[in-house]
Structure 1
Amino acid sequence: MTHPLPSPSPNPWSFLPFALTIFTSAFLLFQVQPLLSKQILPWFGGSPAVWTTAMLFFQTLLCLGYLYAHALAALPSRKTQARIHVVLLVLAALLASRVLPGAELRPESSDSPVFQVLLILGASVGLPYFCLATTGPLVQHWFTSTAHASSVFRLYALSNVGSFLALLSFPYVLEPWLEQQEMGRLWTAGFWVFALLCLPVALGVWQNKTPAGAAHSDADEVVPRQAASALKPSWVQRLSWVALPALASLVFIATTDQISHDVAPEPRLWVSTLGLYLVTFILTFDHPRWYRPKLFAFLTLILLLVASGLSDIPRWLGIDWDYGVNEVRWSHYALLFVVCMLCHGELYRRRPVDTRRLTEFYLCMSIGGAFGGLFVTLVATQFFDDYLEWLMALVLVAVLACHVLFRVEGQARGRVRHAAGALIAVVMVALLYAMQNPWSWREVRKDDRTEIVLDQVRNFYGTVSVKERRYVSEPERDDRVFFSGNVTHGQQFLSDALRHVPTTYYARDSGIGETLQWAMAQKSSLSVALIGLGAGTLANYARQTDAYDFYEINPAAVRFAQDWFDNLSTCKAGEQNILLGDARLRMEQLPKNKLYDVIVLDAFTGGSVPIHLLTREAFQIYRNHLKPDGHIAINITNAYLNLYPIVKAQAEVSGMAYRHKYQAVDEVRNVRRNLHFIMTNDQAYLKAYPSVNRAMRDEQGRLLGNEPYDQPGLRLWTDQFSSIAPIVR
């Protein structure tokens, strides 16, 4: 009697080519997105619409790549699959030789910017990115015919590890040290490495055998055909493949926007939230041990209440506790993590048993992931005046968590459990609406004042609003405040006596106020450029002999300044113009003989500053339109970034002298803490107004010294190099 020979044990090294290929493709996918977006940002005025449009391009191309992988996997011959993909790979490698768009692609007009962004990205990286997007699902499909087919979903977890590392490396490793062109050449080299890794995998399939000692041939199937037909996913299951990643994507984007709205748009915010989003993919697709449905459903319900009613919970418990920025931020981070674990964990539980459905599964996932971003971009931004998608996301998450928590496998107690889950879901939705009522904050009554939101608009440039504050005991302090997001960009008293007194960052004894008054004392007429309109407060400095140009990129800000404040309508300037669009592009288009006495840069108060206005090339444009004895005054007040060393370096490379002035808070005059930096060659001005630092004192009020502003050793910002990592406070 003969015994069959034992099957050879799987060669562990056969896993390596697939793993390296998928890891490299995911890493390059997340490297090229910020690289190209940053490259073309100055071409379109640094508008946030550039990032939005670029994300739309990459998400759409990712879906098309997954669709291509699904269609290719449906071909009966894997030889044909491999041949087609090798041709695509070679073409993509040839086109990847120059990934950064050159000057010939720079648009000459501002017409149809969305179409122009899509065209530039498509011409620069279209086919290479498409090829990278196909790699994950297609290589995993080929991997299912190896002896390690049961570990196929770990490859997806590995791809998210690559994405996560790329996400961290761009702002913290590459950007602080390399210029754009250097990063572009490195990315091209990385793509060629990826192609070299992918070729052996594809050629192994081409030759009708699996690479590196695989145990299965092309004819082998992990699931028999008859069993596979019985395991065909239902339409409900397919719908969950789209809905669950769509909800996770919506929560990710809504959480990011909500933290920006409640705290500030910090530069590290996207890295933190997107990193958490990717980590949940890594954990849930690595092994079932990391996801416990009941536990994460319960934690989700608890954190929904905490993140939504953080300010009310201590009061309900009779505790006198004032929550701050850190509590808000970390409660939202925790909620994002558990929600994405819940969505992605449920998605993994619903994965196809038949691995031949793998490409269909990933195609549905990519459609769902893109849906969340598209909803915010195309629907919420266009039709909502506030972040209403946050409340919508919370309601959907509450329903999902209740479903998972009260889900039963059997039918004996199913009706009771389902009824209990439905009741809890209704209660949760009611509580969320009570705590997150998006209209409740529009009129807030306090002991000493009433605050009413008069107008609010949301567009590609963010959310701008006007709030009126009326004081019960001090009606002379009644005012209106202009907000961009949560950052104050202007304020005006309502009383006739104080109506046109400059306030907030622009008091007469501020750095900018002193500069304008000095220039007025030296010349009978001034030509002034103001970059950043706000409430138009600086218009109050104008005389009849002066000419004022206001540069503003957001049309909603212009309307608000004209409709709700009268600084512009009562401006005494004999000539005043509002130039709508990016200030750098508009100023670059000015005639060469158009020169200003004072250029005021006032667009850097928030956490997401327009970097392209602070580069060497930008300051060259400013100097081209500045008189020899003119002044460039910059409002570098910022709670999140130390911009002092950036503008100091620009002054030094320009050969201009400079001063700075810190001004403390004065609540009586509605003066906010501010720091201004002034560049000029007017030596008399510099002698008359020396620099003023912020004094640092201990708890007893003893002087410890001046606040250090400078950070020696930072590289000069250019259009090819800029990094905010070293200057984050």
Structure 2
Amino acid sequence: MQIAETAKQDGLAPALIQRLGARPWVATVFFSAALIFLVQPMYAKMTTPLMGGAPAVWNVSLVCFQAALLGGYAYAHVLGRLKSLPLQVGIHGALLCLAALALPLSISGLFGAPDPEHPALWLTGTFLVSIAPPFAILSATAPLIQHWYARSGRHDAEDPYHLYSASNAGSLFGLIAYPLLMEPFSALSAQSLLWSGGYGLVALLLVTCGLIVIARHRQPATEAALPAPTHDSVSWKEKGYWLLLSAIPSGLLLATTSHISTDIASAPFLWAPPLIAYIATFIIVFAKTPLISPAVADKYLLFAVGAALLMLNVPIFNSQIVLVGLVVHIGALFLAALCLHGVLVSRRPAASGLTEFYLLMSLGGVLGSAFVALVAPQIFNDIHEYPLLLGAALLLSPRFLGKGIKLTLDRRTLAFGAVSLLAIGLVCAYVALTRSSHSDNMVTRRGFFGVVKVYSPEGQDLTLMQHGNTIHGAQIRSQTDRPTPLAYYNAATPIGQAFTRLSGSATHIGVVGLGAGGVACHAQPGQSFTYYEIDPIVVDLATDTDHFTFLSSCTPDAPIILGDARITLGHAAPKQFDLLLLDAFSSDSIPVHLLTREAMQLYLSRLSDDGVLVFHISNRHIDLVPVLARIGAAEQAVMRHQFYMPTPEEAAQGVQPTNVMMFAKSETALSPFAEDARWQPVTADDQRPWTDDYSNLVGAMLETHMAN
């Protein structure tokens, strides 16, 4: 009845606007945020074949996205200060069309191949020319829509912040939908086209919301009810708090991701859960009725941070400990972000200062993430920023920084403060002790591709190379002249068996993944070795004779080619290698772009007609045998598989359990292994092989756990 009266009095358009209610606004912020967080894993997937599978690719990408988000918020802030709403809508519509020229999304070749010495610069530049234009203009949606909503004349227009909760719900949907819905069922090219269609839909919704506000402003009856934009003064001290309260959780997000990927388990599917927890806190604190009160979360923050600090030195030896570690560290991130974001929201300004609030909140996010992704690797030799940021989150918790920064000096608060300061002291002591222990018996180097450590376990005649939480090579210290290969490369392991049995026929040998160089001492007279390695730090440590002498004593003149194998191996001559070893790991996982059909085509093309490809696939989380079997079958390769468990005596000497697959172009090439029952033929199922366009890590992980 009310709608009919409105239609009769003011015409059909106002009645339609009233019928629609807040739906266009909610739909716009939800779908724009979903697109923003769909493109992030898409971009990581696009760059992976060029950058390897290091967690830093994800972290630097997040910094790029946050910087573009900051640009979008700055643009929304400037646009919102224009008095003319039609002008705002017109400018934004024009820029939406201009940014659409970058669609469909793809990786620009403007900067050529990545520079392994400066990968972050290449990644940043490529993002700017490939993804940034449509991403930045979409990033302006949340603050701009809320600014327009504040001038819409609706009953709740004076407090449009609840729309940011819908925006973060869209972010969460996009982040979860990609690995569960888009990646398993569509190729990357189809994903890009689908994203372009979504961009068009959001552009239409944005312009529609703008036209709704213009239409409401043109109604004489509501003109007076629509407030003109005002700009209340906010102190610089208050703006500083906004920056701090957004920077610490943002930095902690990346620090938690780095710690999980470096010290717990390195797998791309584990990069998303911390971000999901982080985004969920925004949904909660910006809701009209928060599901969890930040004050309630604050009660458990100290215990969560304490548990996370205690877990830092717990050795990871089985999947149960991995799961406990993930829950503890992501839980600490969630509670810390919820507490600090709750304080931030409690200090938000009136709607007139909305765009500036979001601008400074975004700037704080960029500063926090940039510190972790770009600065911390230069000043810390390990993930020390993680415990430090946990401590900082305690100091900024609601008991200290409630609304108005009012500190009540009662016994309870003083006790909490004393315990918090003690925790900070323990954090600092942890960092100091860790660094001092490294200087006595450990060399720790940190770079773009992770943390690499070289150390000698107490009481053992061994020197180990460790990347993340995985051993990448071992040498008996007392052996300097042609040391015995250990770990995965001992003569008893499948890799050692391959080198031994092919020693008479393999003249040219390629090795992808250098490690400590242990495989070098399988070299025989007349053989030539070529090594491929992506991490300059690994090369420096493996060639330092104070640590390892495999390379210097066994293949002193062998070239080491720096860069991602998909690029550098492509420069090798066709049919160059009689034996090609694929042993490329980021901590304990193989980068996905080395597990695709295009990658297999490259490997087989570099094998001689009777050449053999030996693929090291040891992994604690995913059974890669069916994954590679599908790829090998698609390329009509002959395949064998062996999982080797060392005897107790071998394990005591440093030999590791090793899982290996072998590929060749013909049965003749694998004839030296025909009578060895340990090498079993492999057949593929009818599932889809992975390609550069398609992979399904989550599905492979679930398949592995169901089989076990």
* TM-score, with length taken from structure 2: 0.88
Change over 3 Å in CA distance of 1:49–1:312 after alignment to 2: closer
Q: 1:339 to 1:222 in 2, by over 3 A?
A: farther
Choose the corresponding residue for 2:189, options 181, 205, 215: 181
Q: Which amino acid aligns with 2:165?
A: A
Q: Which 10-residue stretch deviates more, 558-567 or 125-134?
A: 125-134
Q: Which residue of 1 aligns with 2:455?
A: 467
Deviates more, 1:575-584 or 1:631-640: 575-584
CA distance in 1, matches of 2:22, 2:309: 45
Note closer, same or farther for the CA distance 1:709–1:478 as it changes in structure 2 (3 Å cut).
Answer: farther
**Could you tell me how far 1:422 is from its partner in structure 2?**
4.5
1:270 alignment partner in structure 2: 271
Map 1:157-556 to 2 at 5 A: 157-207=165-215, 209=217, 216-217=222-223, 220-221=226-227, 229=232, 232-310=233-311, 324-352=321-349, 354-401=350-397, 403-404=399-400, 414=409, 422-434=417-429, 436-437=430-431, 439-440=433-434, 443=437, 453-471=441-459, 477-496=460-479, 500-521=483-504, 523=505, 526-556=507-537
The 2-side partners of 1:38 and 1:407 are apart by: 42
- Residue aligned with 1:568, SS: helix
Partner SS state of residue 551, structure 2: coil
Query: Is 1:74 aligned with 2:81?
Result: yes
Q: For the residues of structure 1 that align with 2:98 and 2:312, how far apart are their CA atoms?
A: 57
Q: Which string of whole-angstrom CA distances, capped at 9 and with x for unpartnered residues, describes residues 348-380 of structure 1?
A: 10011x201000010011111111110012210
Larger deviation, residues 40-49 vs 261-270: 40-49
Are 2:133 and 1:123 aligned?
no
Closer, same or farther: CA 176–442 of 1 in aligned 2, 3 Å? farther
For residues 79-90 of structure 1, the aligned pairs below 5 Å read 79-90=86-97
**628-637 or 582-591, which deviates more:** 582-591
Stretches of structure 1 lacking an aligned partner (at least 5 in a row): 314-321, 445-450, 472-476, 694-707
**Partners of 2:510 and 2:530 within 8 A in 1:** yes
Deviation at 1:100, TM superposition (A): 2.0
Counterpart for residue 559 of structure 2: 577
Question: In structure 1, what is the Cα distance between the partners aligned to 2:240 and 2:403?
Answer: 18
Return closer, same or farther for 1:72/1:418 CA change in 2, 3 Å cut-off: same
Q: Find out whether 1:57 has 2:40 as its counterpart.
A: no
Moved more, 635-644 or 658-667: 658-667
Query: Structure 1 pair 55/338, CA: closer, same or farther in 2 (3 Å)?
Result: closer
Partner of 1:166: helix, strand, or coil? helix
- 1:634 is matched with which residue? 615
CA distance in 2, matches of 1:679, 1:90: 50
Q: Structure 1 residues 106 and 311 mapped into 2: Cα distance closer, same or farther (>3 Å)?
A: closer
1:676 aligns with 2:660: yes
Tell me what 1:107 maps to: 112
Is the CA contact (8 Å cut-off) linking 1:478 and 1:495 kept in structure 2? yes
Deviation at 1:256, TM superposition (A): 1.9
The answer to whether 1:618 aligns with 2:599 is yes
CA separation of 1:479 and 1:218: change in aligned 2, threshold 3 A: farther
Query: Residue 498 of structure 1: CA displacement?
Result: 10
Kindly indicate whether the alpha-carbon contact (under 8 Å) linking 2:77 and 2:356 is maintained by their aligned counterparts in 1.
yes
The aligned amino acid for 1:631 is V
Q: Which residue of 2 aligns with 1:685?
A: 672
Q: Are the aligned partners of 1:595 and 1:626 in contact in 2 as well (CA < 8 Å)?
A: yes
Deviations 1:118-159 (A, max 9, x none): 444333333221210111101110001231314511210111
Match of 2:688 in 1: 715
| Structure 1 residue 296 displacement after superposition | 2.4
Q: CA deviation at 1:441?
A: 7.9
Contact 1:145 1:218 in 2 (8 A): no
Structure 1 residues 584 and 294: alpha-carbon distance in aligned structure 2, compared to 1, 3 A threshold: closer
Task: Please state whether the residue corresponding to 2:691 is helix, strand or coil.
Answer: coil
| Paired-residue identity, % | 31
Q: 1:547-566 maps to which residues of 2 (within 5 A)? A: 547-563=528-544, 564-566=547-549
Distance 1:36 1:106 in 2: 16
Choose between structure 1 and 2 for higher RCO, CA contacts under 8 A separated by at least 6 residues.
2
Native 8 Å contact 2:254 2:373 kept in 1? no
What per-residue deviation string (whole Å, max 9, x for no partner) do you get for residues 195-224 of structure 1?
Answer: 1211211223345638xx99853872289x
Q: Tell me if structure 2 keeps the 8 A contact 1:659–1:679.
A: yes
Q: Report the Cα distance in structure 2 between the residues aligned to 1:635 and 1:110, rounded to whole angstroms.
A: 26
Following TM superposition, by how much is the alpha carbon of 1:334 offset from its aligned partner in structure 2, in angstroms? 1.7
Q: Cα gap change, 1:219/1:294 in structure 2, threshold over 3 Å: closer, same or farther?
A: closer
Give secondary structure in 2 for the equivalent of 1:469. Answer: coil
Indicate conservation of the 8 Å contact 1:247/1:372, yes or no.
yes
- Structure 2 equivalent of residue 140 of structure 1: 146
In structure 2, the residue matched to 1:474 is: none
Corresponding residue for residue 22 of structure 1: 29
- CA gap 1:606/1:641 in 2 versus in 1, 3 angstroms: farther
Shift of 1:501: 2.0
Residue-by-residue CA offset, 1:59-98 (whole Å, 9 max, x unaligned): 22111110010001111222221221121122233x1542
2:404 and 2:129 map into 1 onto residues whose CA distance is 52
Structure 1 pair 343/552, CA: closer, same or farther in 2 (3 Å)? same
Alpha-carbon spacing, 1:692–1:248, altered in 2? closer, same or farther (3 Å) = same
Please state whether the residue corresponding to 1:247 is helix, strand or coil. helix
Cα pair 2:630 2:684 within 8 Å, conserved? no
Separation in structure 2 between the aligned mates of residue 409 and residue 623 of structure 1, nearest angstrom = 65
- 1:679 deviates by 0.8
Q: Unpaired segments of 5 or more residues in structure 2?
A: none
Count of aligned positions: 676
8 Å Cα contact 1:310-1:328 kept in structure 2 = yes
Cα distance change, pair 598–218 in 1 and its aligned pair in 2 (3 A): farther
Task: Give 1:303 deviation, angstroms.
Answer: 1.6
Q: CA deviation at 1:689?
A: 2.6
Q: Is the CA contact (8 Å cut-off) linking 2:55 and 2:258 kept in structure 1?
A: no
* Counterpart pick for 1:590 among 572, 583, 600: 572
CA change 1:545–1:205 in 2 (3 A) is: same
After superposition, give the CA deviation of every residue in 1:410-463 in whole Å (9 maximum; x if it has no partner).
Answer: 89x6487775554343223223344x345348649xxxxxx9642111110100
Counterparts in 2 of 1:498 and 1:649: CA distance versus 1, 3 Å: farther
**In the aligned structure 2, how far is the partner of 1:438 from the partner of 1:646?**
44
Instruction: Give distance in 1, aligned partners of 2:114 and 2:254.
Output: 31
